[in-house]
Amino acid sequence: MPQLDLSTFPTQLFWLAVTFFVLYVLMSKIALPRIGDILEERQKRISDDLDQADRLKGDTETAIAAYEAAMAEARTQAQEEIAKVMAANAAEAAARAKAVDELLSAKIADSEAKIRTAHAEALVQVSGIAAEVSEAIVDRLAGMQAGAEALAQAVSAVAKERGL
């Protein structure tokens, strides 16, 4: 192997040193500054992006807070409107109920008056029928004629006793 030949060692070491020096100069003067610039630019871009992200995050939080405030206000207004509508509906329902109640009360009073009138007429008719029936019974059973007026008074007295 020619690398291990001792007679070529000094030239190999010379060219190694020259190559190392040239590569060192090229790397330190050209490649490493470019890489450093690229890293600095990348770091600056990352910092700018992070700053912009923080700024946008703050804007987003502000927008969310404004949205939540608007929603809370809208809910409050909606609840107030619902309460107003419910109160109006309750008042209207109460007014209708009162009107219906008054109408029903009037109809009930009218019906009760009609019932009382019918009841009184029925009692008068029953008293008259009872008097006629009593007269017919007395006539048939006793064979005598009782006075219609006396029988009517007797029927009235019995009706008063019974609460008719």
Residue 1 DSSP SS3: coil
pTM score of the predicted model:
0.44
Report how far residue 111's alpha carbon sits from residue 107's, in angstroms, rounded to the nearest whole number. Answer: 6
Residue 41 DSSP SS3: helix
**Residue ranges covered by each domain of the chain:** 33-162
pLDDT along the chain (164 residues), means of 10: 80 94 95 94 97 97 96 96 96 94 93 89 75 75 72 75 72
Q: How many C-beta atoms surround the C-beta of residue 131 within 10 A?
A: 20
Strands annotated E in 90-130: none
Report how far residue 134's alpha carbon sits from residue 154's, in angstroms, rounded to the nearest whole number. Answer: 10
